[in-house]
Structure 1
């Protein structure tokens, strides 16, 4: 007997009208659900449904009532005078509704026959064959289409799925999942499993990677799911800091998230030249370790005491160098630096909550600091001052002398990061070693800050904040680079596309190394919860133009794609800056300052803030130049099987044929009127024989075109297809429409 899940039982109980019976059954189900389970166990929920706004409701359609639960699916038995007779699919109850109150729906697992409806395009490289794609759709159905287009052909899938951490984080069956729902994790796993099953079938099993980002709410469940679904793969998880300042969650300051890398076949991350930020845990790969490698890594520059020792070390030797340093004992950081204390006075004024540290020796005699208070402030900004152990007189304070700091500036020591007190953490840098490194499993990279290089960058491109928590452009670029740096023609898919960071990052990688990587984005066109409430108050419903234009695909993903490719913002103004991703640092300058205690002019080498590119190799890429790339924006549509079989919807299928052939050249568009006998687009790499009577002329045409790699033959005869196919040189020959129909009928059974 086929097992039925607890979740499915709950969904069925919900439909029982008798309240007493419904309550008793719920109590029994609750008792059964308390049985102990081990390992990853989750329910098979009632399949998700997708509303198909824009698809006509006909006799035989599956529909839902607008504004009601989309899981209540009806079968349209008849249509007359603008009204539809409908039958509840679960209960068999019959009713009648006005036609305009119904919306066609697609239930997962049922055969669909998709098409791609062109919405818009952007062309910034007319001579380039590089065409990216944005598909507006529920990603489950889009994945079914991608399986038809690119079975076992995708090099990399990068997804940032909903994290299931808030009430309005994600929808299931067109409704937000309540964080108190006892099945919230089960629903999330069910949603992910259905999509990953298809994702597995489009990845190249010989050499490809699936990359999934997640936070602590679901990372344990996701890890188990990936292990269960992909036992043949190598899986590695990385911790990545995306918000150095942290955000409050459950009494902690959360600053990181996790990245799962699922590697198939021969896939392994490339060893790349990485900056010093990666050095703390990256492994040098160009030569074997020597015995002193580990010892050399642990060597720090020579920190020394801020208090003068030896000759001229008394307070009386340099009275101006006797001043207070105020330390917060809780945070162990320097908060204030006072001015020189006049002779005859032992201490400065106290500051509540802070400890006053003076240059006092163990025997209580008064000494002096190594540098003045102005220079000390300067060195704190450089990270050259470190707070040591507590003492009877306060704290030990150490600093990095000029000679040792010069070694850091020259690169003899590599800065690994900064301690809580602001002091640099630096270690001896091994010289003469090829800097190709493996990626570490802990990433604390300044450019991966999602606030500065996600939200702020996106806002600069498309105006006001339109999307919550976009990924850092450089975090996605770096993540992809480990796996596609040596694949200049990689096909990269993101079916939780969000704001479109993945496509932006792919274009950046291509601009950096001259690659021709192609990206396919998939996202729905949902509006935010607040926008949905406002639109409903104004009388709009999903499917209305006023509603759809505020959806994520049309309001965020596509505008970002256009703007980043053209190098302009949403208003048409040129973008400013470059892709070097600058950070502030202290640099040496020659100059003159005034000592505030003596008024004396001091000339020498000082330090000031300056901006430095984290990625010098990207600094030459100006944002205003855009990218030499093109992109098409489609909405997923659905076709009638009978019409397809009769050859009545070739125009609707043509964009898919172009994509299946690799989206080479500009997408061909048929003029209105009768279909031609054959279609051989001049700028593309595919050809279609529409009328098999003209096969001879067709064969002569494609033999004269060596660039033709894909051939589509429209015929209902298997014998004719085999005969024609045997005379065509390319191996990529497809029978229309048989191949298209069979694919979606057969694959619907594998869900």
Structure 2
């Protein structure tokens, strides 16, 4: 029905159009249940770089993209065109026409290099940005990476009713009765192809808000019936929107994953670490028969294992012992030289090895233990997810300009963290890339854990509504260089990625600001003690007076440190597992208080109600001896000026003529695709001569191509002499020859050019249409 609605708009007779629209509206009132939406007229993409020639499907640059013509002939830059709907013919200047690709028609893509940035010359890792309509780019990605993508992260248009996205080159706004249906049609086409590139253990992450959440939830269940779908609520706007009824502070991230997928757990940070060595009244060596043994480090100070229990009559020579074989023993001895014990016995310590790290403090080495990791929660409220502070403002810091509603870098980072933190070589795709937050987050994730994850961004080069109006008034049209430079990919996505990698802008100015990382450093500090000596008779404090006293206790952030509800009628002190402060009302209960404080490592502030300074100092010493110093874990920050050790290639999606491809005349244009299909390893190879080579053997890129099959013997010999070739392409029209050549080189991944390439897009278009 939506297709009929679009066609009705093209009827020039207003009276007839009005009558038909009325009848159509009456017929369309029939109630439908479930996720029912129209397929709509197939989407079309204008191809400004594809020349108009005889047989081309075209549209007027200033007309509707779905008002299509077929070019019958061209004479003196005038094209005779037949309208595909009415059959009428007319002469149109070629300069006023644009070639059009209809969804469902076979396309033969190529990648035109636009720019590159290399800030890790010693790394073989190269990210990719593709400027393109994401539907055609997804068709390309299906050829390159079928079932090979570890994570797809997308932030599609939220369809709020603002003029923020287009369907068939027209903005969809709140007045469009079919805006939800068009949105679903658009998403369905893309998610169907995304399903074919997602690995069996891959994770799809889709962000959305309330406008389309319910529809998307059902659509995901229909397209991915075998996946589990979990909705995460993210507080991205703590201040809330200025709504009439409610102030909205959240959006959603839907995680879709299979039984084979892993949702990784998040390591604790902040104060969630503690010393492996025990302290306090029961921390001595001989109070734990199985807890005195060495933690063994290698010469690079990596924890490699644990030694045997030491006989009771033997003693280490020092807290840190350096052995002749290069290993290092670390014993549970405190800074006063007193032999203590580890928190875990020798028979259980292996289970927590992965949570240990070391801190070097002078000539001492402390073994620090992170608390056990935990699965992600379904509500995220970290201040770092604030999209204004860590999305909009960060983008302004980097490129000096704005972009509508970029995601917080850290919200995207953490979403990817749960999907790929255990996959350091993961392939990540975002085909609604917008300002490029996903690639930015991948670079941050890689630098935190020395990962080698690769990211592919796809975004169009759409010009905003306001800018497009201004450019048209100046006489520019889509496809003109002046128009294209204002598009999102060229003016936002690429500069952001380039500047964030280099740590500086094109004009040489250095990026200011810092990134928050998930790396931490532990620092030992003393706990804070406060004498409350202004009370004359502490033992006579009433319950109400104690509550008033507790209400006065404020932390550095100005917030109350203890709730008054913890005060009971007989409270002599307060010790809580959930609060970082404690108070002793009655010094006569000091021993009972100290016993309650045993192992309460999280308590940082101690309030003691006592008039005597000497008594206060004595109790302070007892607490210090019991709990020892405090390990404060600080989050490591990374200066933006440091950039990232990463490399990126920026391409624009183009299209080739099928006949030329079939004849093997487009090798130069196909070569970037072969590089990507082989893993985008190393710097992209180029052909510098005008002549097509007989063969290419590229161990630095991990692939080889035999162009002239008559040279097979020479090619096979050269292949056998190198070790890094993982993928081989044979240019041949004979399937039998392809099989024989494949058998002769004994390399697993081989492809037949150009048959493999052509068949993929012909069959794919049939399946998608």
State the TM-score, normalized to the length of structure 1. Answer: 0.73
Tell me the secondary structure at the aligned position of residue 254 of structure 1. Answer: coil
Q: Deviations over 1:164-217 (max 9, x none)?
A: 003311110011012121111000000000000000000012x01110000111
Work out whether 1:676 is the aligned partner of 2:693: yes
Shift of 1:29: 1.7
Q: How does 1:638-657 map to 2 (within 5 A)?
A: 638-657=655-674
CA contact (8 A) 1:240 1:442 kept: yes
Q: Partner residue of 2:712?
A: 695
Partners of 1:433 and 1:712 lie apart in 2 by 49
Report the CA distance shift for 1:32/1:685 in structure 2 as closer, same or farther (over 3 A). Answer: same
Partners of 1:98 and 1:238 lie apart in 2 by 53
Which one of 256, 264, 267 corresponds to residue 262 of structure 1?
256
Which one of 197, 204, 209 corresponds to residue 215 of structure 1?
209
CA contact (8 A) 2:426 2:454 kept: yes
CA RMSD of the aligned region, Å?
2.4
Which one of 35, 53, 56 corresponds to residue 58 of structure 1?
53
Which one of 107, 114, 117 corresponds to residue 119 of structure 1?
114
Partners of 1:200 and 1:278 lie apart in 2 by 39
Shift of 1:67: 1.2
Report the CA distance shift for 1:675/1:616 in structure 2 as closer, same or farther (over 3 A). Answer: farther
Q: Deviations over 1:215-272 (max 9, x none)?
A: 1111011111111111100001011100101111343211110111111241131122
CA contact (8 A) 1:208 1:265 kept: no
Q: Partner residue of 2:676?
A: 659
Partners of 1:640 and 1:630 lie apart in 2 by 31
CA contact (8 A) 1:462 1:570 kept: no
- Which consecutive aligned stretches of 4+ in structure 1 deviate over 3 angstroms post-superposition? 15-21, 274-279, 431-434, 587-591, 605-610, 615-618
Work out whether 1:104 is the aligned partner of 2:120: no
Q: How does 1:214-363 map to 2 (within 5 A)?
A: 214-275=208-269
Deviates more, 1:20-29 or 1:657-666: 20-29
Q: Partner residue of 2:83?
A: 88
Q: Deviations over 1:15-43 (max 9, x none)?
A: 33444433332222211211111111001
Q: How does 1:142-161 map to 2 (within 5 A)?
A: 142-161=137-156
CA contact (8 A) 1:133 1:521 kept: yes
Partners of 1:606 and 1:270 lie apart in 2 by 37
Work out whether 1:33 is the aligned partner of 2:28: yes
Q: Partner residue of 2:541?
A: none
Work out whether 1:178 is the aligned partner of 2:195: no
Q: Partner residue of 1:715?
A: 732
Partners of 2:27 and 2:737 lie apart in 1 by 59
Q: Partner residue of 1:404?
A: none
Which one of 158, 174, 184 corresponds to residue 163 of structure 1?
158
CA contact (8 A) 2:269 2:635 kept: no
Q: Partner residue of 2:435?
A: 499
Which one of 462, 467, 470 corresponds to residue 531 of structure 1?
467
Work out whether 1:457 is the aligned partner of 2:451: no
Partners of 1:124 and 1:567 lie apart in 2 by 10
CA contact (8 A) 1:203 1:209 kept: yes
Q: Partner residue of 1:306?
A: none
Shift of 1:11: 2.2
State the TM-score, normalized to the length of structure 2. Answer: 0.72
Q: Deviations over 1:352-377 (max 9, x none)?
A: xxxxxxxxxxxxxxxxxxxxxxxxxx
Report the CA distance shift for 1:443/1:496 in structure 2 as closer, same or farther (over 3 A). Answer: same
Q: Partner residue of 1:563?
A: 499
CA contact (8 A) 2:681 2:702 kept: yes
CA contact (8 A) 2:270 2:633 kept: no
Shift of 1:609: 7.3
Q: Partner residue of 1:436?
A: 373
Deviates more, 1:621-630 or 1:444-453: 621-630
Q: Deviations over 1:471-518 (max 9, x none)?
A: 000110001100101000000000000000000000100000011000
Work out whether 1:469 is the aligned partner of 2:384: no
Partners of 2:176 and 2:98 lie apart in 1 by 27
CA contact (8 A) 1:164 1:217 kept: yes
Q: Partner residue of 1:362?
A: none
Work out whether 1:515 is the aligned partner of 2:451: yes
Partners of 2:60 and 2:54 lie apart in 1 by 15
Tell me the secondary structure at the aligned position of residue 445 of structure 2. Answer: helix
Partners of 2:527 and 2:162 lie apart in 1 by 51
Partners of 1:607 and 1:437 lie apart in 2 by 28
Partners of 2:435 and 2:268 lie apart in 1 by 27
Q: Deviations over 1:646-702 (max 9, x none)?
A: 111110000000000000011001013111110112421000000001001111111
Partners of 2:133 and 2:254 lie apart in 1 by 23
CA contact (8 A) 2:66 2:168 kept: yes
Which one of 64, 67, 91 corresponds to residue 69 of structure 1?
64
Partners of 1:239 and 1:607 lie apart in 2 by 30
CA contact (8 A) 1:133 1:633 kept: yes
